[in-house]
Amino acid sequence: MTGILPPAPLAESDRRSPATRPSSIEPIIAGFHPDPSICRVGGDYYLVNSSFEYWPGVPVWHSTDLVRWEQIGNALSVDEAAAGTSVASGGIYAPTIRHHDGRFWIITTDVGNGGGQIVVSAVDPRGPWSAPLRLEGLVGIDPDLAWDGDDCLVTFCATSGPVTGIAQARVDLGTGRVLETPRALWAGAGLAYPEAPHLYEREGWWYLVLAEGGTERGHGVTVARSASPRGPFEGHPRNPILSHRSTTHPVQNTGHADLVQREDGEWAAVYLGVRPRGMTPMFHVNGRETFLAGVRWEDGWPVFDEERYDIPVRDRSFEETFAGALHPRWVSPGAPVLQQLTRSDDGARVHAVDGAGQTPSAIVARVTDHRWTFTAEIDDVTGTAVVLVRLDDAHSAEVRVADGRASTALRIGPIAQDLTAPVPVSDGPVLVGIRSVASETSGPDDLEFWAESGGVRHALGRTDGRYLSTEVAGGFTGRVVGIRAIDGSFRVGCVTYTGFDAHDAEACAPR
Ligand code: 6LW
């Protein structure tokens, strides 16, 4: 059938029961889900991530135990004007989620529209979320929301204006008015790029947590405290309080943390990290993922306890026929998903959409495993049907089916190449597959492509996975897999994503 890899037995060396892995190495939200922000209401936790050029934006997650998470929606519904207009790694950056006065509030940056901050709110985090309210005059990234009595403070990383760096201003969330000129807050601990501020009040202190060092291997978390949320802040004498820089830890680039107090009074943090593989400089392909740590307090300062939690090892496989309600995992870098998809009793059809802006439209989901297989049944192709894996619009591999032939087109920056000569496929359904397999060249993995029709399986080439990695492509996102029509339309049957990391200890090994 699809030629999937058989699950390998778990290695003896797995440190804990095969059902869990330590929180320092197993993400709570795998795949490109960076810049996590978290809040708690009673026994429920909610978490959001950046979404960049993909719409709908800002995935929203729910958990009752911090270790098992389910995506319950996306906070930014498809903005017809913005969808498809963002360049790779443009769009929506680093949201913060907070609960205040009976509402959930999310503030985030729309870098595609002049770097403005936008706010949405909802009574129920499953939605509906309000239309975005733009805060005028706060140019920068990584906005945070905190309340000091009736005052709502936005703390952010100002990139232009009267001050740059970590800055703060009082705002009116009812009107979107910025009520004061942004003030500089803290210069950071001295590492590069102080950013990602979050403010918390605890036992008479206000804590300002930052990311510093840049989001690459030097990344870390620093902290300062003050008696007032407006400062002045004094840095922790032992900053950074979290960093894997200059270590061989299998999870690198750790930083951009947000803290939360549990119902029992303990504290925890979510942060981003990557799992690079292969030969130097090592390659990460699934973007920056969300990890969990415990936090304890010593002498009035937070201390990360990275091993505190056991994370259940989840099989993240899924199947989709596009028949029922659309799962929130499906997003598009171009025209909205529902503009590309029609559903009838006859099944789902994917259509090419004209005028979708700069980015090719596609219906895609994030890759969440190191080893995986993605397949799609396509039929009744009236133009060019595509099954794809992409890191961004300039780093992608597409199996194309058109005029009774199948081929694989690889794009690496300005270089485009067909991996094999086109092979004929018979009339009727074609099962197209892409899988990530062990690298033959010290890369992170290899990618293999095939098409199967009339009981015959045609190999459609193999490529080194490093060309679809962040170390090659740059940017802030990770791999996605999906389908699209370049022209015309096609019927899509069952789509499957099979992730093997839960079964295959090797798949998660750092090298
Ligand atoms: C985000 C910044 C960062 O705005 O990466 O890792 C940027 N930290 O805080 C994009 O995700």
Ligand 1 centroid to residue 53 C-alpha, Å: 14
Reported as a single tens digit per residue, the pLDDT across 363-375 is: 999 999 999 999 9
Work out the number of other CB atoms within 10 angstroms of the CB of residue 291.
Answer: 27
Question: What is the C-alpha to C-alpha distance for residues 57 and 154, in angstroms, rounded to an integer?
Answer: 21
Q: Which residue owns the Cα nearest ligand 1 atom 5?
A: 215
Count of H-run helices and E-run strands, the chain: 2, 39
CA-CA-CA-CA torsion sign (159, 160, 161, 163): positive
CA of 35 to the centre of ligand 1 (A): 6
Task: Retrieve residue 489's tokens.
Answer: 């339309």
Question: Is beta strand 234-235 parallel, antiparallel or unpaired with respect to 252-261?
Answer: unpaired
Say which residues have a Cβ less than 8 Å from residue 2's Cβ, sequence separation at least 6. 373, 375, 431, 433, 452, 496
Would you say the CB of residue 215 lies under 6 angstroms from ligand 1?
A: yes
pLDDT < 50 positions in the chain:
1-17, 356, 506-511
Active site residue 379: no
> What residue has token string 């999310």?
106
Residue 83 has a pLDDT of 66
pLDDT, position 5? 37
Q: Is the CB of 476 under 6 A from ligand 1?
A: yes
Judge if the beta carbon of residue 211 lies within 6 A of ligand 1. Answer: yes
CA atoms within 13 A on the CB side of 377: 15
CA dist., res. 219 & res. 96, Å (int): 19
DSSP string, 83-146: TT-PPTT-SEEEEEEEEETTEEEEEEEEGGGTSEEEEEEESSTTSPPPPPEEETT--EEEEEEE
Nearest ligand 1 atom, CA 89: 10
For ligand 1, atom 6, the nearest C-alpha belongs to 215
Q: Ligand 1 in contact with 258 (CB < 6 A)?
A: no
Cα 368 from Cα 499, distance rounded (Å): 7
CB-ligand 1 contact for 142 (6 Å cutoff): yes
State the Cα–Cα distance between residues 194 and 202, nearest whole angstrom: 22
Is residue 244 in contact with ligand 1, taking CB distance under 6 Å? no
Instruction: Identify the bridge partners of residue 452 per DSSP, sorted by sequence position.
Output: 431, 457
User: What is residue 509's predicted lDDT score, i.e. its pLDDT?
Assistant: 44
Ligand 1 closest atom vs CA 253: 6
Strand partners, 347: 344
Q: Are 426 and 418 in contact (CB under 8 A)?
A: no
* Secondary structure (3-state) at 471: helix
Identify which of 42, 43, 39, 78 has the alpha carbon closest to the alpha carbon of residue 58.
78
C-alpha 451/C-alpha 362 separation (Å) is 19
- Provide the Cα torsion 69, 61, 255, 241; round to 10°: -70
Atom of ligand 1 nearest to the CA of 94: 4
> Residue 187 C-alpha to ligand 1 middle, in angstroms?
17
Atom of ligand 1 nearest to the CA of 215: 6
- What DSSP string runs through 330-392? -BBSSS-HHHHEEEETTEEEEE--S---SS---EEEE---SSEEEEEEEE--SSEEEEEEEEE
Residue 195 known to be catalytic: yes
Q: What is the pLDDT of residue 355?
A: 54
Residue 446 tokens read as: 């290899």
Q: Rounded to the nearest 5°, which phi and psi values hold at 257?
A: -100, 155
CB distance 112 to 82 below 8 Å: yes
Q: Phi/psi at 473 (nearest 5 deg)?
A: -85, -25
